[in-house]
Amino acid sequence: MATPNEIPVAETIDNGNPEASEKKTRILTLGTSDDQEFEVPESAAVLTLTRIIGYLTKHSDGGVSEEEKRNFDEEFVARAEMSVLFDVVLAANYLDIKDLMDLVCQEIADRMQNKSVKWVRKTFCIENDFTPEEEKKIKEEHPWAWKDVESDEEEKKIKEEYPWAWKDVESDDDD
Protein backbone atom coordinates (compact mmCIF):
# COMPACT_ATOMS: atom_id res chain seq x y z
CA MET A 1 0.00 0.00 0.00
CA ALA A 2 1.16 3.54 -0.70
CA THR A 3 2.22 5.81 2.12
CA PRO A 4 0.55 9.25 2.33
CA ASN A 5 3.45 10.73 0.34
CA GLU A 6 3.12 8.09 -2.38
CA ILE A 7 -0.59 8.30 -3.15
CA PRO A 8 -0.79 7.44 -6.84
CA VAL A 9 -2.72 9.71 -9.17
CA ALA A 10 -4.62 8.00 -11.96
CA GLU A 11 -4.50 9.42 -15.45
CA THR A 12 -7.09 11.98 -16.37
CA ILE A 13 -10.22 10.40 -17.73
CA ASP A 14 -12.68 11.43 -20.38
CA ASN A 15 -15.03 8.43 -20.32
CA GLY A 16 -14.72 8.16 -24.11
CA ASN A 17 -16.72 11.35 -24.54
CA PRO A 18 -15.17 13.87 -26.98
CA GLU A 19 -16.75 16.82 -25.15
CA ALA A 20 -15.52 15.54 -21.81
CA SER A 21 -11.95 15.40 -23.06
CA GLU A 22 -11.98 19.20 -22.99
CA LYS A 23 -12.96 19.09 -19.32
CA LYS A 24 -10.89 16.20 -18.02
CA THR A 25 -11.32 15.20 -14.41
CA ARG A 26 -8.28 14.14 -12.47
CA ILE A 27 -8.96 11.07 -10.40
CA LEU A 28 -6.99 10.19 -7.29
CA THR A 29 -6.66 6.59 -6.24
CA LEU A 30 -6.57 6.53 -2.46
CA GLY A 31 -5.47 3.48 -0.52
CA THR A 32 -6.69 2.55 2.94
CA SER A 33 -4.90 0.85 5.81
CA ASP A 34 -6.77 -2.37 4.97
CA ASP A 35 -5.53 -2.31 1.35
CA GLN A 36 -8.77 -1.13 -0.24
CA GLU A 37 -8.59 1.46 -2.99
CA PHE A 38 -11.04 4.22 -3.79
CA GLU A 39 -11.09 6.50 -6.78
CA VAL A 40 -12.23 10.02 -6.01
CA PRO A 41 -12.27 13.22 -8.03
CA GLU A 42 -9.24 15.32 -7.18
CA SER A 43 -11.48 18.28 -6.33
CA ALA A 44 -13.29 16.28 -3.62
CA ALA A 45 -10.03 15.11 -2.08
CA VAL A 46 -8.62 18.63 -2.14
CA LEU A 47 -11.67 20.05 -0.36
CA THR A 48 -11.47 17.40 2.36
CA LEU A 49 -7.74 17.88 2.85
CA THR A 50 -8.20 21.66 2.93
CA ARG A 51 -10.69 21.26 5.78
CA ILE A 52 -8.32 18.95 7.63
CA ILE A 53 -5.38 21.32 7.21
CA GLY A 54 -7.55 24.15 8.58
CA TYR A 55 -8.42 22.02 11.60
CA LEU A 56 -4.79 21.04 12.23
CA THR A 57 -3.61 24.62 11.81
CA LYS A 58 -6.11 25.91 14.38
CA HIS A 59 -5.26 23.15 16.83
CA SER A 60 -1.49 23.51 16.47
CA ASP A 61 -1.51 27.29 16.97
CA GLY A 62 -0.12 27.89 20.47
CA GLY A 63 -1.78 31.30 20.66
CA VAL A 64 -5.31 29.88 20.39
CA SER A 65 -7.19 29.36 23.66
CA GLU A 66 -9.09 26.16 24.43
CA GLU A 67 -12.35 28.12 24.21
CA GLU A 68 -11.43 29.39 20.73
CA LYS A 69 -10.61 25.81 19.68
CA ARG A 70 -13.98 24.58 21.00
CA ASN A 71 -15.78 27.37 19.13
CA PHE A 72 -13.83 26.52 15.98
CA ASP A 73 -14.69 22.83 16.38
CA GLU A 74 -18.39 23.59 16.79
CA GLU A 75 -18.41 25.70 13.64
CA PHE A 76 -16.24 23.15 11.79
CA VAL A 77 -18.90 20.44 12.08
CA ALA A 78 -22.12 22.42 12.55
CA ARG A 79 -22.63 23.55 8.97
CA ALA A 80 -21.04 20.58 7.23
CA GLU A 81 -23.18 18.30 5.09
CA MET A 82 -23.29 14.64 6.05
CA SER A 83 -21.26 13.61 2.99
CA VAL A 84 -18.53 16.07 4.00
CA LEU A 85 -18.49 14.66 7.53
CA PHE A 86 -18.17 11.14 6.12
CA ASP A 87 -15.25 12.20 3.90
CA VAL A 88 -13.50 13.99 6.77
CA VAL A 89 -13.89 11.10 9.23
CA LEU A 90 -12.52 8.62 6.68
CA ALA A 91 -9.54 10.87 5.97
CA ALA A 92 -8.97 11.57 9.68
CA ASN A 93 -8.98 7.84 10.34
CA TYR A 94 -6.54 7.21 7.50
CA LEU A 95 -4.28 10.04 8.67
CA ASP A 96 -4.64 8.92 12.31
CA ILE A 97 -5.92 12.28 13.57
CA LYS A 98 -7.74 10.99 16.64
CA ASP A 99 -9.14 14.30 17.94
CA LEU A 100 -10.63 15.18 14.56
CA MET A 101 -12.03 11.69 14.14
CA ASP A 102 -13.63 11.88 17.60
CA LEU A 103 -15.10 15.32 16.85
CA VAL A 104 -16.65 14.29 13.54
CA CYS A 105 -17.87 10.90 14.82
CA GLN A 106 -19.59 12.68 17.71
CA GLU A 107 -21.31 15.08 15.30
CA ILE A 108 -22.52 12.19 13.15
CA ALA A 109 -23.77 10.39 16.27
CA ASP A 110 -25.56 13.54 17.45
CA ARG A 111 -27.29 13.90 14.10
CA MET A 112 -28.36 10.24 14.25
CA GLN A 113 -29.86 10.53 17.71
CA ASN A 114 -33.61 9.85 17.74
CA LYS A 115 -33.71 9.22 14.00
CA SER A 116 -35.82 6.47 12.54
CA VAL A 117 -34.34 3.22 11.28
CA LYS A 118 -35.48 4.28 7.82
CA TRP A 119 -33.52 7.54 8.08
CA VAL A 120 -30.36 5.76 9.26
CA ARG A 121 -30.62 3.21 6.45
CA LYS A 122 -30.95 5.93 3.81
CA THR A 123 -28.21 8.11 5.28
CA PHE A 124 -25.69 5.27 5.52
CA CYS A 125 -26.86 3.32 2.45
CA ILE A 126 -27.80 0.27 4.52
CA GLU A 127 -30.00 -2.26 2.79
CA ASN A 128 -33.05 -3.44 4.73
CA ASP A 129 -32.68 -7.19 4.94
CA PHE A 130 -35.52 -7.74 7.43
CA THR A 131 -38.99 -8.87 6.47
CA PRO A 132 -41.90 -6.76 7.79
CA GLU A 133 -42.65 -9.61 10.20
CA GLU A 134 -39.08 -9.63 11.53
CA GLU A 135 -39.14 -5.85 12.00
CA LYS A 136 -42.44 -6.06 13.88
CA LYS A 137 -41.04 -8.77 16.16
CA ILE A 138 -37.91 -6.71 16.91
CA LYS A 139 -40.04 -3.66 17.75
CA GLU A 140 -42.17 -5.74 20.08
CA GLU A 141 -39.14 -7.32 21.79
CA HIS A 142 -37.24 -4.03 22.18
CA PRO A 143 -39.78 -1.20 22.57
CA TRP A 144 -37.23 1.01 24.35
CA ALA A 145 -35.26 1.32 21.11
CA TRP A 146 -38.14 3.21 19.49
CA LYS A 147 -38.80 5.54 22.41
CA ASP A 148 -38.27 9.21 21.47
CA VAL A 149 -37.66 8.43 17.79
CA GLU A 150 -38.64 11.46 15.75
CA SER A 151 -41.79 11.21 13.73
CA ASP A 152 -41.73 11.90 10.02
CA GLU A 153 -43.26 15.33 10.70
CA GLU A 154 -40.54 16.25 13.22
CA GLU A 155 -37.89 15.07 10.79
CA LYS A 156 -39.37 17.19 7.97
CA LYS A 157 -39.44 20.25 10.25
CA ILE A 158 -35.76 19.82 11.15
CA LYS A 159 -34.80 19.34 7.50
CA GLU A 160 -36.68 22.51 6.58
CA GLU A 161 -34.96 24.44 9.37
CA TYR A 162 -31.46 23.19 8.48
CA PRO A 163 -31.60 22.31 4.76
CA TRP A 164 -27.87 22.79 4.21
CA ALA A 165 -27.08 19.93 6.61
CA TRP A 166 -29.30 17.43 4.81
CA LYS A 167 -29.12 18.39 1.15
CA ASP A 168 -27.12 15.27 0.26
CA VAL A 169 -29.33 12.84 2.23
CA GLU A 170 -32.33 11.34 0.47
CA SER A 171 -35.69 12.26 1.92
CA ASP A 172 -37.94 9.66 3.52
CA ASP A 173 -40.60 10.99 1.16
CA ASP A 174 -38.81 9.26 -1.73
CA ASP A 175 -40.45 5.91 -0.94
Give pLDDT tens digits along the chain (175 positions): 333 333 333 333 344 444 544 556 788 787 766 787 877 777 778 888 899 999 999 998 888 899 999 999 999 999 899 989 999 998 898 888 999 999 999 999 999 888 888 888 888 888 989 999 998 999 899 988 878 887 666 666 666 766 665 555 554 444 4
Kindly give, in sequence order, each residue whose CB lies less than 8 Å from that of residue 21, ignoring residues fewer than 6 positions away.
Answer: 14
How far apart CA 77 and CA 58 sit, in angstroms, is: 14
Query: Which option is the CATH number for 4-112: 3.40.630, 3.30.710, 3.90.1570, 1.10.10?
Result: 3.30.710
How many angstroms separate the Cα of 5 from the Cα of each of 2, 33, 109, 165? 8, 14, 32, 33
How far apart CA 142 and CA 144 sit, in angstroms, is: 5
How far apart CA 30 and CA 32 sit, in angstroms, is: 7
Kindly give, in sequence order, each residue whose CB lies less than 8 Å from that of residue 119, ignoring residues fewer than 6 positions away.
Answer: 155, 172
Considering the entire predicted model, what is its pTM? 0.61
Give yes or no for a contact between 35 and 1, defined as CB atoms under 8 angstroms apart. yes
| Amino acid at residue number 135 | E
Kindly list the domain boundaries of the chain, sorted by start residue: 4-112, 117-174
